[in-house]
Amino acid sequence: MSDTPTELSDKLAREGQKSLEFFRAIPESNWTTRVYQDGARWDVQHVLIHLAETEEDIPRLMRSILSGGEGVAKGFDIDAYNSERVGSAQAATPEDWLARFAARRAETVAFVGGLTETDLQQRGRHPFLGETEIVEMIRLMYLHVQMHQRDVKRALHGG
């Protein structure tokens, strides 16, 4: 299946709106519910911070690749990076993080919509996927959010 920049951009916009609705529906009392019990040990708010930060990091990575960069360094430790990035995030309310996610997703949608078919085929090193095409990095952006939302649902609803 060959996605166009417009199709990918539209999907990111739709999925971003669904994510905002999902997180906005979470009662304030549930924001400290633990989502992951080992490793990062993130609660719901940590997951949202991670998603908002990733929404900035991955488009920056793609821009770097499109400018001739190779992507992340070989041996890049994604778990350590995510832990540091979330741990050093400024204290803010969930609504502040939702606003950041919304703004960053809007920037991503515009960026992806402005890409060319050739841009989508450019290759670089992604922190999770390894060596891959820009199109796969974009697809992972909405799948990544869906995966974390599934985990939040499980934590909040017991399965």
Express each pLDDT in 80-113 by its tens digit.
888 888 877 767 889 999 999 999 999 999 999 9
Regarding pTM above 0.85, the answer is yes
Alpha-carbon gap, residue 101 to 91, rounded angstroms: 15
How far, in Å, are 5, 71, 91, 137 from residue 124 at the CA level? 18, 5, 33, 9
Residue 2's pLDDT band (cuts 50, 70, 90): low
CB atoms within 10 A of CB 54: 22
CA distances from 35 to 121, 137, 159 (A): 35, 25, 11
CB 131 within 8 A of CB 125: yes
* Superfamily holding 5-157: dinb family like domain (1.20.120.450)
Distances (CA, A) of 73 to 22, 55, 78: 34, 19, 11
The domain ranges of the chain are: 5-157
Judged by DSSP in three states, 125 sits in: strand
Q: What percent of the chain has pLDDT over 90?
A: 77
pLDDT at 125: 96
